Amino acid sequence: MQLDAATLTGRFIQLEPIDPRHYAGLEIVARDERIWEHTAFGPSFGAYFDQLITARDTGLQIPFAVRWLATGELIGSTRYRDIVRDHYRLEIGGTWYHPARWGGATNPEAKLLLLAHAFDGAGANRVQLFTDVRNKRSQAAIAKLGAVREGIIRSHLIVDGGRRRDSVLFSIVREEWTEVLAGLRARLDSFDSA
């Protein structure tokens, strides 16, 4: 599986491979505490951002800044992680957006761009997504993409200063991609460019 860090552009958003020039804009967006209710970035945004750059530089992850095209403003971040090239699988995760962009075109278009790049561009066989078992909003958003809920991974992560997080695992496999793509396109067609 050949997965690269390309800029991915849709109708509403653009996913740009993370670069130090994104720091200031993302740091401003990340100040909204609602974003981090179920997702922690660590002791500081600076440390979090440094981890993204390190993961990018070591090839372990491909992080993206999310830009709203109509205004040019940065509105969040997402990434490919747990990339297993020999088995043609990866995870989409670490996703967060400013709350003003929750429930609109941002997440479906980001997932469409990432999934199309993974399945059609890189030849992935499986894409998985995890979320905190307590994060009902995120679970609903992932299910709405057309992903299949596979179950709960118990004591999956250590978060929030030591809490053991149970995670809900969802996936999309190659045979489901055409139907998922059609659903995402239909959802995006329901939004106007505002």
SS3 at position 110: helix
pLDDT of residue 194: 43
Query: In the chain, what percentage of residues exceed pLDDT 70?
Result: 95
Closest CA relative to residue 26, chosen from 56, 5, 8, 53: 53
Question: What is the average pLDDT value for the chain, to the nearest integer?
Answer: 92
Comparing 165 with 65, the larger pLDDT belongs to: 65
> Is the CB of residue 104 less than 8 Å from the CB of residue 70?
no
- Determine the average pLDDT of the residues in 105-130: 97
- What b/e sequence results for 178-187 when a residue is b if at least 16 CB atoms lie within 10 Å of its CB, and e otherwise? eebbeebeeb
pLDDT of residue 157: 85
Q: How far is residue 112's CA from residue 169's CA, in Å, rounded to a whole number?
A: 19
Q: Which two tokens stand for residue 122?
A: 């890189």
pLDDT of residue 36: 78
pLDDT digits (tens, 9 = 90+) for 145-174: 999 999 999 999 888 778 898 999 999 999
Task: Name the CA radius of gyration of the chain, rounded.
Answer: 16
- Domains (range + CATH), the chain: 8-189 (3.40.630.30)
Sheet strands (E) in 43-88 = 62-68, 74-84
Contacts of 128 (CB under 8 A, 6+ apart): 82, 89, 90, 91, 92, 150, 169, 170, 171, 172
- Whether 3 shows a pLDDT value over 70: the answer reads yes
- Determine the average pLDDT of the residues in 121-128: 97
pLDDT digits (tens, 9 = 90+) for 174-193: 999 999 999 999 999 998 64
pLDDT digits (tens, 9 = 90+) for 9-53: 999 999 999 999 999 999 999 998 888 776 666 668 898 899 999
pLDDT of residue 193: 46
> Is the CB of residue 20 less than 8 Å from the CB of residue 77?
no
Cβ atoms within 10 Å of 146's Cβ, excluding its own: 19
Region of 102 on the Ramachandran plot (φ > 0 left; ψ -120 to 50 alpha; else beta): beta
